[in-house]
Homo-oligomer: A and B are copies of this chain.
Amino acid sequence: MIIDMHGHTNAPPSLYAYKSRLLASRGAHGKGAPNISEEAMAAQVKNHLENNLDKVGTDVQFLSPRPFQLMHSEKPERIVHWFAEACNNAIATSVKLAPTRYRGVAGLPQCSGVPIQNTFDEIDRCINDLGFVGIMINPDPYEGSGTPTPGMGDEYWFPLYEKMIQMDIPALIHSASCKDPWDTYSNYFITTETRTIISMVSSRTFDTFPNLKIIVSHGGGAVPYQIGRYRAFFGRHFAETGGFDVELKKFYFDSVLYNVEGLDLLYRIVGTDRCMFGTENPGTGTYKDPKTGKMLDDLKPEIESISWMTDQDRKNVFEDVTRKVFPRFKD
């Protein structure tokens, strides 16, 4: 079975027109609703299944909200909550329309400058009521606007980690938009993923939460490629416990890298038993390489082309690790 654990909401424009209205009114009209028609939603799902999943042979895709749309740095807090709910609802509808093909991963209504516990009601709703299988965490709800967010190894996040362990749900690390005028949201993903790993390793977060399951998107940012630097940096402190590699292998990683050299390096460095198949299809990588004519996010053939990987390595990536990390995923 091919499980693509990194996909995002497919929804008609009404969902984002709703967001636009929330931002324009700053919530003055009350919660309202995105008014997504059933037909529009069904058309989206049908199209997505046919043109994105079936074409590349994906059996199941996990859907989380489009991260860069989540507007975590906007105020007042209620509009962030309302929009996160609307996104999660749209995902729930997709799952309902094609229950064998989708699973939900909850986007959190994170807000800059407030306790992480404010997201718990929506986690409960998504996991318990909507049947979602995991959550997605934005390591910087300030969205690169200049105020530093506590690192992922800081106590700010501990109540969330406790809740994740208690509910046995993993989290996908994925930042949202980026308001730094000299950066882009897409590049900021990589920065924040790298920082997440470094912060959690520095703070020895897994010593406190050994059962915590953190999946770092996009192949772990810059870390596997730059691992020599971190081996040296942390080796001095953690030599006795096995060094940086031991710590790094406490994280999980997806395969949203879009180039075979990167995937090859990732699997060599962290091992296939920490990696999961993910494509974000359709998303950033939905681009046809003019030279090869292939879609960059059609990653299955790329993975299959890595000659040193065993069948179990591939099964790890395509199915086993995901099943292990997401115990709420049942066929």
**Which residues 134-171 of A sit at the B interface, judged by CB distance below 8 A?**
146-151, 154
- Max chain B C-beta neighbours (<10 A), residue from A185, A262, A286: A262
Stretch at the interface among A50-58, A89-97, A125-133, A172-180: A172-180
Cβ contacts under 8 Å, A312 to chain B: none
B262 pairs with A228, CB closer than 8 A: yes
A69: which B residues are within 8 A, CB to CB? 20-21, 24
> Could you give, for residues 239-262 of chain A, a 1 whenever the CB lies within 8 Å of some chain B CB and a 0 otherwise?
100010000000000000111011
Asked whether B75 lies within 8 Å of A181 as measured between CB atoms, the reply is yes
Some 27 contacts from A to B, beta carbons below 8 A apart, are A14-B17, A16-B16, A20-B20, A20-B23, A21-B69, A23-B23, A25-B177, A25-B185, A26-B184, A28-B186, A146-B147, A151-B182, A154-B182, A186-B229, A187-B195, A219-B225, A219-B226, A225-B262, A225-B265, A226-B262, A227-B259, A228-B285, A232-B258, A232-B284, A261-B265, A261-B269, A265-B265
Assembly stoichiometry (copies)? 6
A215 at interface by CB-CB < 8 Å: no
A76 contact from B13, B24, B26, B181, Cβ within 8 A? B181
Complex contacts, A16 vs chain B, CB 8 Å: 13, 16-17, 20-21
Query: Are B287 and A232 in contact, with the CB atoms below 8 A?
Result: yes
Give the size of the chain A interface in residues (CB under 8 angstroms).
82
Chain B residues with Cβ under 8 A from A199's Cβ?
Answer: 182
Chain B residues with CB under 8 Å of A68's CB are 24-25
Q: CB within 8 Å of B: which of A28-60?
A: 28-30
Partner of A14, one of B13, B239, B296: B13
A257 surroundings in chain B (CB, below 8 A): 225-226, 228-229
B-chain residues with CB within 8 Å of residue A202 when the two chains form the complex? 184
Cross-interface CB contact of A198 among B184, B228, B258, B264, cutoff 8 Å: B184
List, in ascending order, chain B residues with CB within 8 A of A221's CB.
Answer: 222, 226
Binding site for B on A (CB under 8 A): 12-17, 19-21, 23-26, 28-30, 66, 68-69, 71, 75-76, 146-151, 154, 177-187, 190-191, 194-195, 198-199, 202, 218-219, 221-222, 224-229, 231-233, 235-237, 239, 243, 257-259, 261-262, 264-265, 268-269, 284-287, 289-290, 296-297
A237 to chain B, nearest CB (A): 6
Q: Which residues of B lie under 8 Å from residue A265 when comparing CB positions? A: 225, 261-262, 264-265
- Nearest-neighbour CB distance to chain B for A246, whole angstroms, equals 11
Contacts of A287 in B (CB 8 A): 231-232, 235-236
Closest A-B pairs by Cβ, 3 of them? A228-B258, A222-B222, A13-B17
A24 to B222, Cβ gap below 8 A? Answer: no
Contacts of A262 in B (CB 8 A): 225-228, 265
